[in-house]
Amino acid sequence: MNDKIITYIKEEIAIMPLDSIDVHEDLLGSGIVDSLGMMKLVVFLEKEFQVKIAPEDMTVENFDTINHISEYLSKK
């Protein structure tokens, strides 16, 4: 799961070219992804993992790192 998310971020929505992304790195805080990129990521996650992400679940706690995204998706 993490590999698919990392690949999508690196190839589709990263603001700058990246060699790697640590699963604990703050995606918004470090400038890897902007707010528009985060919305694109949510759409990707819904399609790729066949889940519906409710607006109230789109929190910093669930989406600030790849690790948190994976934990959130595992609960769905």
* Tens-digit pLDDT profile for residues 17-68: 999 999 999 999 999 999 999 999 999 999 999 999 999 999 989 999 999 9
pLDDT score for 28:
94
As a whole number of angstroms, the distance between CA 64 and CA 25 comes to: 8
The per-residue pLDDT for 30 is: 94
Please give the model's pTM, rounded to 2 decimal places: 0.91
- Residue extents of the structural domains in the chain: 2-75
Backbone angles phi, psi at 42, to 5 degrees: -60, -45
Q: Is 1.10.1200.10 the CATH classification of the domain at 2-75? A: yes
Q: Is the model's pLDDT at 76 over the cut of 90?
A: no
> 58: alpha, beta or left, given left = phi > 0 and alpha = psi -120 to 50?
beta
How far, in Å, CA of 54 to CA of 30, rounded? 25
